[in-house]
Every structure is written in C-alpha cells, then in structure tokens.
Amino acid sequence: MPQLETAAFLPQLVWLAITFVVLYLLMAKVALPRVAGVLDERKKRLEHDLEEAARLKRETEKAIAEYEQALASARNKAQAIAGDARARMTADAAAVRARVEAEIGEHAKAAEANILAAKQQALGALKSVAVDAAAGVVARLSGTAPAADAVEAAVTQALAKPAMARN
C-alpha cells in the first residue's frame, strides 16, 4: 500500500497542503461567501417577515377594535330605535285604547238611553194594559163597567206610589 510507505510521505504531505490550501481558498473566496449571503438573505427575509407579521397583527387588532366599536354603536342604535318604537307603539296603543273606551262609553250611553226609552215605552204600555185589566176586573166583580177616567186615575195613583208603600 502506497499510503504506508515512508518514502512517499513527503510528497503526499505536500500534495495534502496544496489541496488543502486550494480547497480552503476556494471555500473562503467562493462557497462560504455564497453561503453567508444566503444566510444573510434568509435572516433579512425572516426579520422582514416578522416585521410584516407584527404590522399585520397591529392592523388586525385595530380592525377588530374598530369592528367591536362599530358593533357596539350599532347595538346602541338598535336599542334606541327599539325603545323609540316601543314608546311610539305604547303611545299609539294608549291612544287607540282611549278612543275605543270613548266609543264604548258613547255606545253604553246610547244603550242606556235606548233602555230608558224602552222602559218608558213599556211603562206607558203597561199603564194602558193595567187600566184595561183593572176595568175588566172591576166589571167582572161588580157586574157594571166603571168609568174610564176613574179607572185611569186609580191606576195612575197606584203607579205613582213608591214600591215600598205598595208592599
């Protein structure tokens, strides 16, 4: 094996040194600057991306705060509108109720007047029926027809007495 011959050690060491220097220079001047450039570019891109992410996060938080503020404002407006509508509906309902109660009161008064008129008419008819009935009863009992004026006066007098006095 040529690696183990002691006479070949010196040329091998020279070629090792030459190869090492060439490789070192090649790495130092070509490969490592490219790798350093790529690493620097990655570092810059990473920092830029982190800055961009932080900026976007701030914008997002700002947009969320504006959204929540707009939502709260919209809720307040909706509650105010609902309150106004509720107040208007309550006022309208009260007005309708008052109008309906007034109409019912008028109908009740008209009904009472009709009842009173019917009562008066019935009493008037009752008086003539009572006069006829009294005349018939007196005629049967006495056998003679009484005078119409006398029977009418007696019935009028009897109807004029209070109810307690008749009992």
What single-letter amino acid sits at 53? A
Q: Which residues, at least 6 apart from 166, have a Cβ–Cβ distance to it below 8 Å? A: 158
pLDDT tens digits, residue range 78-89? 999 999 999 999
- For 57-80, the pLDDT digits (tens) are 999 999 999 999 999 999 999 999
Provide the greatest CA pair distance for the chain.
Answer: 188
What local confidence, expressed as pLDDT, does residue 33 receive? 92
Give the pLDDT score at 165: 53
Residue 83: how many other CB atoms lie within 10 Å:
10
Q: Which 8-state DSSP code applies to residue 30?
A: I
Give residue 163's pLDDT.
Answer: 57
pLDDT for 49: 96
The answer to whether the beta carbons of residues 131 and 141 sit under 8 Å apart is no
Nearest of 116, 109, 157, 163 to residue 134 by alpha carbon: 157
Q: Which residues are CB-contacts of 139 (< 8 A; sequence separation ≥ 6)? A: 145, 146
**Dihedral Cα 36, 39, 44, 48, nearest 10 deg:** 170
Q: Of 52, 76, 56, whose CA–CA distance to 64 is shortest?
A: 56
Q: Residue 145 contacts by C-beta under 8 Å, 6 or more apart in sequence?
A: 135, 138, 139
pLDDT at 21: 96
Residue ranges of the chain whose pLDDT lies below 50 = none
> To 5 degrees, how large is the angle CA 38–CA 43–CA 45?
90
